[in-house]
Structure 1
């Protein structure tokens, strides 16, 4: 059909064709410096909103920079981005701050989310315990995404599952926060998990 041709089909079909996609909220969480801001920036179809602040000498004394020596900024409130999965579905992504001292913001950020992606760095699994405990306590479906820093991970997925003490019902995947397709696949795992929970 060209621009000059009349629309065809029933009124209901034409309405469905122009209906905006369903908005769905997902949270991207995890410890300090695991790749949350990078993941949002890699996948977002809009310029992501970030609340990055420079790491001061005082903050460097609080946050462990051992495995992230080149990190010069940190998220102090949240990251925000969005991605249209298909004409019927649009994901709104909210990234939480990684430091425990900003944990008081999490309840507001997570409100209304149907699921979460918890990113972990296998070099410092201790940093993600708080996020895993949070979503388990809230009863929010989540998947664990192991970020492959420098193209590899320090432990197998089974070792990660054992270390985090998460059930078999929690999906574990390896992904690269810098790669758009890899982030998309990880988010789809969360989406499928959340949908299965609602249909169950």
Structure 2
């Protein structure tokens, strides 16, 4: 079974469109037989996407640090719940269990998580797709910043193209299924002077 990691807010945000997108994503992945891996919380968009997938018969795996379990933030009704020691362990397990990564709207933690996976993809640590569900233009500034990185010579176009920005979760899933990773950023002989 394909499994997609969802990064998203522990808040629902202040626009109902964010929750609607989380519900649509959870339902779509369940309907398509795609498992969800996420941070294991019952709050915010995290809880909404998990509940929507579970209600539609989907498989949802949560990974949560003990400190958040102690704060009573863990979702009690998941298919699987892994309790880990640290945020680092959480992110590592999420990456290991997933075949791709989608960022729904969220804050600093959401951005940190998706950017780490995008960076790992560039470095060849994994060959998994990364994408943003751009709800009502929420992630448009990120797309513009990525284009600016290319324009200013800090990012090659093929690595910018690794990130998908879509307004529809079905379009993201289709792109993920067709994804072909670019070559690793730093190959073993990179930087050697040719004789």
TM-score by length of 1: 0.45
Considering only CA atoms, is the larger Rg found in Structure 1 or Structure 2?
A: 1
Which structure has the highest helix share of the two? 2
Q: Which has the higher strand share?
A: 1
State TM-score, norm by structure 2.
Answer: 0.46
